[in-house]
Amino acid sequence: MQERDRMELKVSNVRKMYNKTVAVKNANLYLERGIYGLLGANGAGKTTLMSMISSLEIPDSGCITYNGKNIFAMGDEYRALIGYMPQDFGCYKEFCILDFLKYIALLKGIKKSHIDKQVNHVLNLVNLQKCNSKYFNELSGGMRKRLGIAQALLGEPQILILDEPTAGLDPKERVRFRSIISDIAIDKIVLISTHILSDIEYLSNRLLIMDSGTIEDIGQIEQAFTNIRGKVWECNKNELNANTLRNSIVCNTKVNNEGQQIVRIINEAQPVPSATSVCGTLEDLYLYFVGGK
């Protein structure tokens, strides 16, 4: 591979504490071109990890390299490669969309002669060009999210870090947003954290799971499903003995039309003869990897 085609982001033994809280325990990760979906419970450490990969937070120990170079030593050279969309971002109320993007372009060090062209380009990508004179407080949640991605795209970054980009969007806006992300993801490293499992299914080809400050690379999602194939069951809860229930991962409980509690579990073997084998979902897969916690 030629050096200019190389895109390797490596997180090695990274740890980050806030006072006495260990936010990221010992993270190891290797990312190359592709879209990675990052799943994890609230407080698992996703935002902290993403902030460190974006070079906004410095790890207490361990290192993060891009193509073999320490990202913190790379400084502006690395920041020019990164597009970061935080969970929430604010904007001066005097700024309209256009002013805000021009301001961010300046902060990113984009040449003044290139700013108008780049701002128009990202506005077109996220379909905000017609309302570019609207002020931040006039924008809907979906528009704000699109503005968030537009600012991340300024400077044509090779690495896109998107922290819960579809949170709070209605289903239609979410579908629209996913299509924007898949259009712009080509030939980039894209890391997306989300609690919306369908985002992962539709957007990413690799699954990462973060749990209590550690991260596991589950790999290709389709392949990962082999881990639970033939192990997901639905059965009447009353027919399960307490021991089987304790040794299973409980994915879901629902009440059927006859008023019986039907439990969905992951278990190596058929738990009771009446249990039905069902297809695993991404939610089952996630619970399998975090042990049903």
> Which range touches ligand ATP (CB under 6 A), out of 45-53, 66-74, 93-101, 219-227?
45-53
- The pattern of x and - marking residues 20 through 39 that bind ligand ATP according to CB under 6 A reads -x-x----------------
Output 27 or 189, the one with its CB closest to ligand ATP: 27
Kindly state whether residue 45 participates in binding ligand ATP, applying the rule CB under 6 A: yes
- Give how far the C-alpha of residue 283 lies from the chain's centroid of Cα atoms, to the nearest Å: 15
Output 42 or 137, the one with its CB closest to ligand ATP: 42
**Cα 140 to Cα 156, 170, 236, 238, distances in angstroms:** 25, 11, 45, 47
CB 133, min distance to ligand ATP, A: 33
Distance CA 131, CA 98 (A): 9
Output 88 or 183, the one with its CB closest to ligand ATP: 88
CB 48, min distance to ligand ATP, A: 3
* Two tokens, residue 74: 């790379």
Give bridge partners of residue 24 from the DSSP assignment: 16
Count of CB atoms within 10 A of residue 256's CB?
Answer: 10
Kindly state whether residue 168 participates in binding ligand ATP, applying the rule CB under 6 A: no
Kindly state whether residue 85 participates in binding ligand ATP, applying the rule CB under 6 A: no
CB 70, min distance to ligand ATP, A: 22
CB 125, min distance to ligand ATP, A: 26
Out of 11, 48, 143, 266, the only residue in the binding site for ligand ATP (CB under 6 A) is 48
Largest Cα–Cα distance in the chain? 72
Kindly state whether residue 148 participates in binding ligand ATP, applying the rule CB under 6 A: no
CB 132, min distance to ligand ATP, A: 30
Distance CA 122, CA 129 (A): 9
**Cα 180 to Cα 89, 125, 130, 133, distances in angstroms:** 19, 7, 17, 21
> Which range touches ligand ATP (CB under 6 A), out of 41-49, 176-184, 225-233, 262-270?
41-49
Spatial neighbors of 163 by CB under 8 A, at least 6 apart, are: 46, 47, 50, 84, 85, 86, 87, 193
208, containing H or E segment: strand 206-211
Binding residues for ligand ATP, rule: CB under 6 A, are 18, 21, 23, 40, 42-48
